[in-house]
Amino acid sequence: MRFLRMLKRLFWGVLIKLFPSLGPKGVINTQIAVYKRLKKKFPSADENDLLNSLIMSRVNAPPSSSTRPEELAHYETLLESTDKTLEDVIWAIVEYEYLLSRGPELHRELAEVGAKPTDVAEEIAEWHRYMKERAAEMRTKEHKDSEFGGHDT
């Protein structure tokens, strides 16, 4: 059984290297793309409404590692907040999907590969840095497009 888990992890690791969209960076990119589509479709919508729609699109998207009520409970405070940012929403999604909802399974997998807490913290910091960079790139592009009358494709 342990061999199968190791094989599964190896296979998953290779898939993520070949197709980064399958990992946390892919989730970040997907959420930014969904946000951009929402903003384009509803240009006069309030920012808070767009961010709430982004959260709900994630809650309603299959497959999920937890139940809808569990996900709604996780996002409840964020949904009620009126001063959230795109980064807050995306980070909550990544944090829930890759860390909080996987609890014991994640701890077991990390222990099996001998991951140190510092390794985990560095990886999480990398996800956070990547998310901030991508959001900043999107805002810069939006700003340039609005200055010069360009359109996002």
> 139 vs 42, 66, 67, 68, 144, CA distance in Å?
17, 32, 33, 31, 9
Is residue 128 a part of any domain in this protein? yes
Domain that holds residue 126: 20-148
What's residue 117's pLDDT? 84
What's residue 3's pLDDT? 56
What's residue 5's pLDDT? 55
Is residue 11 a part of any domain in this protein? no
Is residue 14 a part of any domain in this protein? no
Is residue 71 a part of any domain in this protein? yes
Contact 71, 64 (CB under 8 A): yes
What's residue 33's pLDDT? 94
Is residue 82 a part of any domain in this protein? yes
Is residue 153 a part of any domain in this protein? no
Is residue 135 a part of any domain in this protein? yes
Is residue 13 a part of any domain in this protein? no
Q: Which are the contacts of 96, defined by CB distance < 8 A and separation ≥ 6?
A: 71, 74, 75
Tens-digit pLDDT profile for the chain (153 aa)?
555 555 555 555 544 455 445 678 888 999 999 999 999 999 999 999 999 999 999 998 877 778 889 999 999 999 999 999 999 999 999 989 888 887 777 777 778 778 888 888 888 889 889 999 999 998 888 777 766 665 544
Number of domains in the chain: 1
What's residue 15's pLDDT? 46
User: Is the backbone peptide bond immediately before 63 cis, with ω within 30 degrees of 0?
Assistant: yes
pTM of the model: 0.75
